[in-house]
Amino acid sequence: MTTLRKCRKLFEDATKVIPGGVNSPVRAFKAVGSNPIFIDKAKGAYLYDADGNKYIDYCLSWGPMILGHARSEVLAQVKKVMAKGTSFGVPTELETHLARMIVQAIGSVEKVRLVSSGTEAVMTAIRLARGCTGRDKIIKFIGCYHGHVDHMLVQAGSGAMTLGSPSSPGVPKDFTKHTILLPYNNTEMLEKALNKYRGQIAAVIVEPIAGNMGVVPPRKGFLKTIRKLCTKNSSILIFDEVITGFRIKYGSVQDIFGVKADLTCLGKIIGGGFPIGACGGKAKLMDKLAPTGQVYQAGTLSGNPVCVAAGIATLKLLKPKTIYSGLERATEKLCIGIQEALAGRGIEHTINRIGSMFTVFFNPGPVTDYVSAVKSDTKMYAKFHAAMLRDGVYLPPSQFEACFVSAEHKQKDIDRTIVAARKGKL
C-alpha cells in the first residue's frame, strides 16, 4: 500500500454532504476504528482504491459478487438490455425468466415476487405471514439481521425470551413489542416461546446459516426442529436467505439441511451486483399478495430489466456444479492457512466456515450464537483488519460480518492472503 491520501480527502468531502460520509453505516469503518477506502474500480477478485492501491476482496459487496467483479458475461447482458430502455413500469418477459430460474432452483418456491432489496423481501414476507395467519407476533433470533425493517430492529431485553425493545430511535415500541427474541441454535427456548404465545405467532424468521453476527452455522437439528414446531403451531417459517441463496449451492440451503421453508427471502447474489430482492413460497401463500390477494405490496422499480438481466446472467454462470466445489476448496485452503498463521503467532481465534463464507473470530470459541460471538476481541480484529489492508487484503470492516470468496479468487490470491496473515504487524 502506498498512501491513502486521496481516500482520506474523498471521505472528508463525503462527510460534508452524506451523513457519516457513507450510504450504509458499516462502510464507515467505525467498527475497526479507521477510515473507509474509496473504490475507483474493481475486476475479478480485486478492488482498486482512489490512491491506486490494489486489494484482494473478501467482502465482495457483502456477498453478491460471487463471480468476481465486472464479470464480462454479466456486463454484456446488462448493456444489451439497457440499450432497449431501463424501466417501463409494465411487465417484461425477463421477469418471468428470472422467476422461473428461482422456482426451478428452490423446491419450496412455486411463485416469487421480485423487489429491490433484501430489506423489502423481508418486509414482504413478514406482512404476508401476518396477513395470512391473522396473527401479529414474530419470533426472531438474536444476532440475525433481516434488513432495516422496523419490526426487525430489535434488541434483546435483559433476559432472553423477553419482548423486544427497539434497537434504534425512530422505531416505535408498539412495533417491536410484537417481536420475540430468542438465542440462535436453542430449540428449548423456541419450544417454550411457542407454548407461551400459543396461537399468536405469525412467523418464525431465521437465517438458516447466520451471517450477520459473523458466520454461525445451525446446530444439527436446529432448523428441523423449527420446521416441526412451526407446522405444529400453524406459524409460517421464513428463511432469510439473502446471503445464503445461491451462495452455498445453486439454489437454497434448504436442500442441504432437509428442511422446507414456507417463505424464502432472497437478495444479493440474485441481482449480480444490482439492487434486488425476492420473496417466494408456495403458490397458495404467494397468491395472497395483491393483486390476486389482499396483502398489499408494490415497487416502482421492482423487476426492472437491468437488475433482472444481471441476475439471470449470474445464475446461468453459477449453474455448473463445479463452481461451488471450487469455491469450497479454495475457501477451505484459505481458512486452514489463516488458522495455521494465527496459531503460529499464538493468537487466540476460531474460524467458522461453511462453503465459501467464513469468519475469523478472535475468541477461542466455539461460536454458536450471539453471546459467544460477542466474546471476540474486536480490538484484535481491528488490528488484523488494518494489517491485512496494508498488505493488500480487504476484509469486511467489522468482526461480526461474513467473509466471502469468489470464483475469481485464484491459488495465488489465497497464498498471498495467508502470507499476509502470517506476517502482518498486529
Please give the residue ranges that form the binding site for ligand PLP (CB under 6 A).
Answer: 117-119, 122, 145-147, 207, 211-212, 240, 242-243, 267, 277
Of 118 and 303, the one with the shorter C-beta distance to ligand PLP is 118
Q: Is 145 a catalytic residue?
A: yes
Q: 403 - beta bridge partners?
A: 358
| Residue 174, all three cell numbers | 408498539
Q: CB within 8 A of 79, min separation 6: which ones?
A: none
Shortest approach of ligand PLP to residue 173 CB, angstroms? 23
**16 among known catalytic residues:** no
Catalytic annotation, pick one of 268, 370, 391, 413: 268
Closest to ligand PLP by CB, 123 or 313: 123
φ/ψ (deg, to 5) at 51: -90, 0
Query: Could you tell me the smallest distance in angstroms from the CB atom of residue 242 to ligand PLP?
Result: 4
Residue 194's H or E segment, with its range, is helix 187-196
Beta bridge partner(s), residue 404: 357
> Is the CB of 151 or the CB of 383 nearer to ligand PLP?
151
**Cell numbers given for 366:** 466455539
Shortest distance, position 224 Cβ to ligand PLP, whole Å: 20
Which C-beta is closer to ligand PLP: that of 207 or that of 262?
Answer: 207
What gap in Å lies between CA 105 and CA 407, rounded to an integer?
20
List all residues 6 or more positions away from 25 whose beta carbon is below 8 Å from its beta carbon: none
Choose, from 49, 51, 57, 240, the residue flagged as catalytic.
240
Q: In this structure, how many other beta carbons lie within 10 angstroms of the beta carbon of residue 162?
A: 12
What are the backbone angles phi and psi of residue 344, rounded to the nearest 5°?
A: -60, -25
C-beta closer to ligand PLP: residue 243 or 306: 243
Joined together, the cell numbers standing for residue 261 give 421453508
Rounded CA gap, 124 and 88, in Å? 22
In this structure, the number of other CB atoms found within 10 A of the CB of residue 367 comes to: 24
Q: How far is the CB of 425 from ligand PLP (least distance, A)?
A: 32
Complex with ligand PLP: residue 215 or 386, whichever CB lies closer: 215
**Sign of the dihedral defined by the CA atoms of residues 230, 235, 237, 238, in that order:** negative
Count of C-beta atoms within a 10 Å radius of residue 61: 15
CB of 213 to ligand PLP, least distance (A): 11
Q: Supply 165's cell numbers.
A: 425493545
What is the phi/psi pair of residue 103, to 5°? -60, -40
Shortest-Cβ-distance residue relative to ligand PLP: 118
Q: Which of 55, 145, 184, 250 is catalytic?
A: 145
Please, what is the minimum distance in Å from the beta carbon of residue 145 to ligand PLP? 5
Burial of 195 (0-12, 13-18, 19+ CB in 10 A): exposed
Query: From the CA atom positions of the chain, what is the Rg in Å?
Result: 21
CB nearer to ligand PLP: give 126 or 414. 126
> Is position 240 annotated as part of the catalytic site?
yes
- Give burial (CB, 10 Å; 0-12/13-18/19+) of 17: exposed
Catalytically annotated residues: 145, 240, 268
